[in-house]
Amino acid sequence: MVRQQVGRSLKEIYRRLLAGYGRQHWWPADEPFEVMVGAILTQRTAWRNAEKAIDGLRAAGALSPGAMRRMPLT
C-alpha cells in the first residue's frame, strides 16, 4: 500500500515538474520511469555505473514499476 502511494506521489511530482518546465531534452532516456531510476542511481554512483545498471534492468525486462516490484529483495 505504501509503495503504491509513493509511486503515485513520485509520478505526480514528475507530471507537475514536466507541466511547469517542459521537456528539458538533456536526460538520455525516453520513459519517465527510466528518468526517475537514473536520477536515483546517479545520487549514489557515477553516471557510467548508473547507465550500466539501467542497461541491465532493461535487458532483464525490469525497467518498469511493476517489474521492479516483483524482483526479489536480495
Residues 54-68: tens digit of each pLDDT: 999 999 999 999 999
Each residue's pLDDT tens digit, 20-56: 999 887 778 878 899 899 999 999 899 999 999 999 9
Residues 6 or more apart whose Cβ sits within 8 Å of residue 69: 3
Could you tell me which of 68, 60, 15, 13 has the C-alpha nearest to residue 37? 68
> How many structural domains are present in the chain?
1
- Grid coordinates of 72: 526479489
Domain extent for 6: 2-70
Residue at grid coordinates 546517479: 42
**Can you tell me the distance from the alpha carbon of 70 to that of 74, in angstroms, rounded to the nearest whole number?**
12
Decide: 42 and 50 in contact? Cβ < 8 Å: yes
